[in-house]
Amino acid sequence: MTILSQKITQTVCRKYERAFNIKPYFINVSGERLPGNYGPVQAYLQTHAYALQEAVRWGEPFVFYPFRGVVSWIVALVEQRRLHGGLIGGEVRTPGAEPQEIIKDLIEQGLDTNAASLFCGRLPEWPAEKIKGAALSLNEIFYQASGWNPVLLEENRIKAIQQRHIAEAMDAQKKNSQGGYPIDKEKMLLSLIRAGDQNGARRVLNEMLGAMYLFSTKLAVLRARAIELMGYLTRTAVEDSPILEPLIERNHKWMQKLIVAPDFETLSHVLMQALDDFMHGIYARGFNCYHPHVGRILDHIASHYSEPLSMREISGAAGISVSRVAHLVRQHTGKTVWQHIMRMRINRARQLLEGTNESCSEIALKTGFCDQSYFTKHFRRLTGTSPAHYRRSLAGSVPR
């Protein structure tokens, strides 16, 4: 962990200990406690190593039980796609756990009676919600202090969430004895895309993926279904609005990725990425927008919404007057230019809140807002909740 400065490690430990009155400690990729770090007995290095692997696999803090009645949690320390070690949040006693049982288990692990009693006596008793909160806070504290970008964790977290949703959809379909491919879901998916309901569209897509897998587990069949679905969405969109024809070329790259997907998990992940991209393209232009000037206007907004846009700049890109821009956009889409800009910014902000660990202030600047308070105001207006609360509502249960 030599790439972490002493200042950063001290900052992380100090902030966390101040918040939860418990000391964290660093481990290497093999599960060994690093020199100079406070830690308990070294009786469960293999447990540490396993927990670290699971934290990477799920893309989020992982809660584990090193001994009977004792719970701990770990944050994987990843910069880009490289794992450098882990950060243990400490150990606590689960509600109702008997100290004598914990001591007995520690002795069986090779600890002497005095050391086991001392270790057990230091353990506070925490409820599950506090454990979850401490794990999430440790993750946030570390990545804010280090400035690292855990690309690998973000990718794995998104994949894990999708696979969990697909499994739930498959289980529900088995219980309802539904067989065959759900053609009606395609129309529902398209309706949600038209309405701009990204979360609803993702939910339906996961249900469709679950049904596809139940219908056939053969990768060739699954790949054909995925390509067929993207073709259906693109064809219907272009039939609805001819100016959406660029979506055909835009989706071609996703078709190529679907063709070479080596397994169902990768196929599902690519399809979800394609759906997000497809929805962005649909929303950027609008389903009922046939006017060529409006198409150019919305294209320009879609490419520059994160920048300080003015009506004069937009009118210059479209080749018409400012007043004409405002009139045409409102007439053909039912929304003002400003509404289009704001909704594109908020839609992108939601994607960043869901798929990255970037702070709200960083996301505000990245999506074109001058400051975080202005960003929060409009995010709440369009979504009904604050950015921070929106991100917390997406966090699944950490204990597994």
- What is residue 305's predicted lDDT score, i.e. its pLDDT? 86
pLDDT on residue 206: 81
Query: In angstroms, rounded to a whole number, what is the distance separating the alpha carbons of residues 137 and 156?
Result: 19
Res. 150: pLDDT tops 80:
yes
Residues 69-98: what's their mean pLDDT? 92
Place of tokens 């049904």: 211
Q: Where are the domains of the chain?
A: 6-148, 150-284
Residue 203 binned pLDDT confidence (cut-offs 50, 70, 90): confident
Residue 287 has pLDDT above 50, yes or no: no
CA distance readout (Å), 100 to 112, 232, 272: 14, 63, 50
Tokens of 237: 């969109």
pLDDT value at residue 85: 93
Average pLDDT over residues 246-259: 79
pLDDT given at position 6: 87
Is the per-residue pLDDT at 397 higher than 50? no
What would be the CATH architecture of the domain defined by 6-148? 2-Layer Sandwich (3.30)
Tokens linked to 92: 């606590």
- pLDDT score of 345 more than 80: yes
Q: What is the pLDDT of residue 55?
A: 94
What confidence tier does 283 reach under pLDDT thresholds 50, 70, 90? low
Query: Does pTM surpass 0.75?
Result: no
What pLDDT is attached to residue 196?
63
Identify the pLDDT of residue 21: 94
CA atoms within 13 A on the CB side of 116: 18
pLDDT above 90 as % of the chain = 25
